[in-house]
Every structure is written in C-alpha cells, then in structure tokens.
C-alpha cells in the first residue's frame, strides 16, 4: 500500500460514517507502536506501561475525531497528520504525569512539615518560612527561567525532556538553568542581607 492507505478513514470520518474496521484497527495499531517508539526515543520510561499507553491511544482517537475537519489532504498524508497528533498526545501525557508528581510532592512536603513540627511548633514555623522564602525567590525569575527551574529542579526532568517540552535545544535549556541559578543565588543573598538588617535594627 502507498502512504495514502489511511485516506479512506479520513473520507469516512468526514462523511460521518464508520471507517473500514480492518483499516481502523491497523491505524490504532500504528498509533500504539508510534507511542511506544516515542516513549523509548525520549526515554519517558515512566509512561512505558500498558495503562498509560492505552490512555494515550484513547485520547488519540478522540483528538483525531475532533480535529478531522482541520486536516488538509493537499498538505500532508493522513499518516503524517496522525503522527503529529501522537506527538501532542505523548507530550500531554508527560505534562499530566509531572502535574501528578508535583501535586504529590506538595502533599509529601506538607506532610513532612506537619510531622517534623508536630512536637515543635517553632520548627514547623521555620520549615514553612523556608519554603515560602524559596517560592518567593522563584517567583522573581523570568517566565523562561521559571519554566526551566520548575521542570529541571522541581519536577526532576532531564535536560532532554525539558528541551522537548519547551521546544528549545538542550544548550538553551542548560544556559537558562545556569542563569536562573545565578539569579536565585543573588536573590537569596539579598534576602539574607535584608533579614540581617532588620534583625540588627
């Protein structure tokens, strides 16, 4: 078959009909293989389980049906269009995973704060104060610096994963992170001096 083998699926969906079952199953199989290939290529091992892959494939089916009217057969084959959707599905799955991980991290952090300060209210207050100070400093970064710090240092992604999500090169990601760390150190030093000045007065 040629690269246009999935074109009948587009024609059927466009007309509001069910596509050929055999061809549809072949497309779903292609989607599943492409999802696995991208997970392996980008080293997203945390998505390499059947539940997450099934969810991505399910989202793909919905996304294809929803966006079929945007597809232009004159500009690309349906297979190329489909691969673009799969790319977005995998990236969205990574974002969702990171959000779940971030939310869980916050829960753990809050739990640790309560546990560590359970018998020592002063200790609990100091932990919360340190956290608030750090987030106050991070909020003073540029949006680009903040994104890199969040993905690399808070969410724990690799340079390659961060570059993929931000649509930047690994070199740019590393440069932004270095500048962000320099900025954080400067802000921490200023903040410490400000605290000392207040205490001395």
CB 155 within 8 A of CB 99: no
CB 169 within 8 A of CB 163: yes
The secondary element (H helix, E strand) that includes residue 16 is: none
Closest CA to 99 of 39, 177, 147, 155: 155
Closest CA to 35 of 52, 22, 18: 52
Instruction: Please give the domain boundaries of the chain with CATH numbers for all domains.
Output: 3-94 (1.10.1740), 117-200 (1.10.10.10)
The pLDDT value recorded for residue 1 is 37
The pLDDT value recorded for residue 174 is 92
From first to last of its 201 residues, what are the pLDDT tens digits of the chain? 344 788 899 899 888 888 999 999 999 999 999 999 988 888 777 777 888 888 899 989 889 988 998 999 888 888 899 999 999 888 888 877 766 665 655 554 555 455 455 556 665 566 566 666 776 777 777 778 888 888 887 777 888 888 888 888 999 999 998 998 888 888 878 776 554 434 344
CB 31 within 8 A of CB 86: yes
Closest CA to 54 of 21, 31, 26: 31
- Taking every pair of C-alpha atoms in the chain, what is the biggest distance, in angstroms? 81
The pLDDT value recorded for residue 132 is 67
- Say how far apart CA 98 and CA 118 lie, in whole Å: 29
- Say how far apart CA 185 and CA 9 lie, in whole Å: 56
């Amino acid at each position: 078959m040629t690269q246009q083998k999935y074109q009948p699926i587009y024609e059927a969906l466009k007309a509001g009909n069910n596509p050929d079952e055999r061809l549809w199953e072949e497309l779903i199989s292609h989607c599943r293989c492409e999802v696995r290939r991208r997970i392996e290529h980008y080293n997203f091992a945390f998505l390499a389980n059947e539940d997450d892959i099934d969810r991505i494939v399910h989202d793909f089916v919905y996304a294809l049906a929803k966006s079929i009217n945007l597809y232009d057969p004159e500009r690309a084959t349906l297979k190329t269009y489909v691969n673009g959707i799969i790319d977005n599905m995998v990236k969205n799955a990574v974002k969702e995973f990171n959000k779940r991980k971030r939310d869980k991290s916050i829960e753990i952090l809050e739990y640790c704060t309560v546990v560590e300060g359970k018998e020592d209210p002063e200790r609990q207050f100091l932990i919360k104060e340190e956290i608030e100070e750090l987030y106050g400093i991070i909020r003073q970064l540029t949006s680009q610096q903040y994104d890199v710090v969040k993905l690399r240092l808070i969410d724990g992604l690799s340079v390659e994963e961060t570059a993929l999500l931000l649509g930047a090169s690994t070199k740019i990601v590393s440069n932004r992170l270095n500048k962000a760390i320099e900025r954080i150190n400067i802000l921490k030093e200023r903040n410490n001096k400000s605290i000392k000045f207040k205490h001395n007065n």
